[in-house]
Structure 1
Amino acid sequence: MTTSSTGNAGEKPVPSGFAVSGRTALLRAETALFMRDHVLSLVSHDLRGPLNAIHSWAYVLERKLDANDPNAQRAVTGIRNGVDQQVKLLETIVDATRAETKSLVLAYAPFSLHPLLEETVEEVRSGLGRARGVEVTVDSQLATEQLNGDRERLAAALWLMLMFAVETGAEGATVTLVTKADTNAWHASVGYEANGTALDDPALPHVLEAFARKQAREPREAKRIAWVLALCKRVAEAHGGSFEQVDATGSDTATLALRVPLSATAAK
Structure 2
Amino acid sequence: MTTSSTGAGGSQPVRPGFAVSERTAHLRAETALFMRDHVLSLVSHDLRSPLNAIHSWAYVLERKLDANDPNSQRAVTGIRNGVDQQVKLLETIVDATRAETRSLALAYEPFPLHPLLDETAEEVRSGLARSRGVEIVVNSQLDVEQLNGDRERLAAALWLMLTFAVEASAEGATVTLAARADAATWHATVTFNVTAATLDDPSLPHALEAFARKQAREPREAGRIAWVFALSKRVADAHGGSFEQSETQDGEAATLALHVPLSATATA
Pairwise CA distance, 1:101: 2.8
Offset of residue 92 of structure 1: 1.9
Q: Match for 2:70: what amino acid?
A: P
Q: Is the 8 A contact 2:118 2:138 kept in 1?
A: no
Do the aligned residues in 2 keep the contact of 1:18 with 1:131 (CA within 8 Å)? no
Match of 1:191 in 2: 191
SS in structure 1 at match of 2:155: helix
Deviation track 1:65-107 (CA, whole Å, cap 9, x = no partner) reads: 0001112111101111111111121122111211233211111
Q: Per-residue deviation at 1:251?
A: 8.7
Moved more, 123-132 or 71-80: 71-80
Report the Cα offset of residue 249 of structure 1. Answer: 6.8
1:61 aligns with 2:61: yes
Q: Does 2:221 match 1:221?
A: yes
SS in 2 for 1:98: helix
Identical columns (%): 79
Give the letter aligned to residue 153 of structure 1.
R
Amino acid in structure 1 at the alignment position of 2:229: L
Q: Which amino acid aligns with 1:186?
A: W
- Are the aligned partners of 1:191 and 1:253 in contact in 2 as well (CA < 8 Å)? yes
Question: How many residue pairs get matched?
Answer: 256
**Where does structure 1 lack aligned partners over 5 or more consecutive residues?**
1-12
Q: Distance in 1 between matches of 2:160 and 2:251?
A: 24
TM-aligned CA deviation for residue 17 of structure 1:
9.0
Letter in 2 for 1:35: M
TM-score computed with the length of structure 2 as normaliser: 0.91
Deviates further, 66-75 or 56-65: 66-75
- Deviation per CA, 1:115-149, whole angstroms, max 9, x where unpaired? 11111000001110000000000110111111111
How far, CA to CA, are the matches of 2:249 and 2:93 in structure 1? 40
Structure 2 CA distance for partners of 1:173 and 1:250, relative to 1, 3 Å: closer
Q: Which residue of 2 aligns with 1:94?
A: 94
CA RMSD of aligned residues (A): 1.7
CA distance in 2, matches of 1:250, 1:22: 32
Name the CA shift for 1:112/1:60 in 2 (closer, same or farther; >3 Å).
same
- Indicate the larger mover: 42-51 or 82-91: 82-91
Q: How does 1:30-45 map to 2 (within 5 A)?
A: 30-45=30-45
Change in CA separation of 1:159 and 1:256 when aligned onto 2, cut-off 3 Å: same
Distance 1:201 1:249, change over 3 A: closer
Q: State whether residues 195 and 251 of structure 2, in contact with CA within 8 Å, keep that contact through their aligned partners in structure 1.
A: no
Give, in angstroms, the shift of residue 19 of structure 1: 2.6
After TM superposition, the structure 1 stretch with the greater mean CA deviation from structure 2, 109-118 or 39-48, is 109-118
Which one has more relative contact order, counting CA pairs under 8 Å at least 6 apart? Answer: 2
Contact 1:177 1:190 (8 Å CA) reproduced:
yes
Amino acid at match of 2:110: P
Runs of 4+ off more than 3 Å: 13-18, 248-252
Q: Is contact 1:14–1:203 with CA below 8 Å preserved after alignment?
A: no
- Helix, strand or coil at the partner of 2:265: coil
What SS does structure 2 have at the residue aligned with 1:120?
helix
Change (3 A) 1:219 1:26: same
CA 1:90–1:233 in structure 2 vs 1: closer, same or farther (change >3 Å)?
Answer: same
Distance between the aligned counterparts of 2:248 and 2:242, measured in 1? Answer: 20
SS of 2:147's partner is strand
What is the CA-CA distance between 1:218 and the residue it aligns to? 1.4
Cα deviation per residue 1:193-245 (whole Å; 9 max; x = unaligned)? 11110011101011111111111121111121111110000110011110010
| Aligned residue number for residue 154 of structure 1 | 154
Instruction: Please show how residues 1-268 of structure 1 align to structure 2 within 5 Å.
Output: 15=15, 18-248=18-248, 253-267=253-267
Q: Is contact 1:161-1:256 (8 Å) kept?
A: yes
1:113–1:144 CA contact under 8 A, matched in 2: yes
Unpaired stretches in structure 2, ≥5 consecutive residues: 1-12
Alpha carbons of structure 1 residues 16 and 238: separation in structure 2 relative to 1, 3 Å: closer
Change (3 A) 1:194 1:251: closer
